[in-house]
Amino acid sequence: MKFITKPTLVALAVMTLAACGGQEKQEKQEENTAVVLETDAQKQSYGLGASIGSYMSNNLIEQEKFGVVLDKELLVSGFTESLAGNSQLSEEEIRTILMSLDQEVTAKKKAADALASEANVNAGIQFLADNAKVEGVVVTDSGLQYQVLTAAEGAMPVATDTVKVHYKGTLTDGTTFDSSYDRGEPIEFPLNGVIKGWTEGVQLMNVGSKYKFVIPSELAYGPTGTGPIPGNSTLVFVVELLDIVTASAVVDEKAAH
């Protein structure tokens, strides 16, 4: 699973300012309150503005979560006046202000992440302790917990195999962060190329079986987390092992094409 992080609003503004620094200022135009969207050029212009507005709005909402609240009216004024070539601040002043804001947001986000990460450690410990008491749950030496939901007698993979599975991954509060079921197709991957909890757990399965895994954070993504998975998160997976594709079979199949 790979997650892409978009640049912050502040970073985007700094990059935009740097890219546009050499452009000539536009002449100030009279405000047109009647929005006309008839031609392609009109729709493209409005669409670009709407895209910027939506992106900025989403980032402002994210920043407010960390206690950084900006004045939207002044933000709009800064945008429109700068677009007309009448910015009240110099480019150097804007760079300095935005860099300071970026540092403030980053610092507050790190502090919030640290608190959430500590809370996840405690929540994970309690969840694992409670789950270990559930009938049918087995705890391995590493701390991985598994429960057989559907037994089967098919072959069992080894760490060097590539497997085909269907799965659903959730946080301990039930929030789904990834699901092949939702995408409507299973996924194939080498067992030695995923998190430790998967590498160990799927090797316990027979083809055709369905297991529930509770994976401690140290066997998952650890203190850093990834994408929608916060740091130190204990993860819950329901996994169906559909097939085993050995490394040699994958090579042979590609060679055939």
Using one digit for the tens of pLDDT, what is the confidence trace for 107-120? 998 888 888 888 89
pLDDT tens-place string over residues 192-229: 999 999 999 999 999 999 999 999 999 999 998 998 99
Tell me, what's the pLDDT at 29?
43
CA 80 to chain centre: 32
Average of per-residue pLDDT values in the chain: 85
pLDDT bin (cut points 50, 70, 90) of residue 8 is: low
Domain spans of the chain, in order of start: 1-22+36-131, 135-256
C-alpha 240/C-alpha 226 separation (Å) is: 23
Share of the chain residues as helix, strand and coil, in percent rounded to the nearest 5: 45, 20, 35
pLDDT tens, residue by residue, 21-43: 444 444 444 445 668 899 999 99
- Check residues 164 and 249 and name the one with the higher pLDDT: 164
* Half-sphere exposure of residue 73: CA atoms within 13 angstroms, side-chain side: 0
Q: How far is CA 50 from the centre of its chain?
A: 24
DSSP state for residue 44 in the 8-state scheme: H
Distance between CA atoms of residues 180 and 146, nearest Å: 20
**Residue 243: its pLDDT value, please?**
96
Taking residue 8's Cβ as centre, other Cβ atoms within 10 Å add up to: 18
**Which of 3.40.50.720, 3.10.50.40, 3.30.450.40, 3.30.710.10 would CATH assign to domain 135-256?**
3.10.50.40
pLDDT at residue 247 tops 70: no
134-145 residue pLDDT tens: 999 999 999 999
pLDDT value at residue 251: 44
Given this model, what pLDDT does residue 33 score? Answer: 60
* Residue 15 in this model has a pLDDT that exceeds 50: no
Fold agreement between 1-22+36-131 and 135-256: no
* Contact present, 197 and 140 (Cβ < 8 Å): no
CATH class of the domain defined by 1-22+36-131: mainly alpha
pTM exceeding 0.75: no
Residues in the chain, overall count: 257
Q: Which positions are annotated as active-site residues?
A: 167, 177-178, 195, 221, 237
**53 pLDDT exceeds 60?**
yes
For residue 181, what are the contacts with CB-CB under 8 A and spacing of at least 6? 166, 167, 168
Residue type at position 233:
S
Instruction: Determine the Cα–Cα distance for residues 111 and 113; give it in Å rounded to an integer.
Output: 5
3-state secondary structure 25-58: CCCCCCCCCCCCCCCHHHHHHHHHHHHHHHHHHH
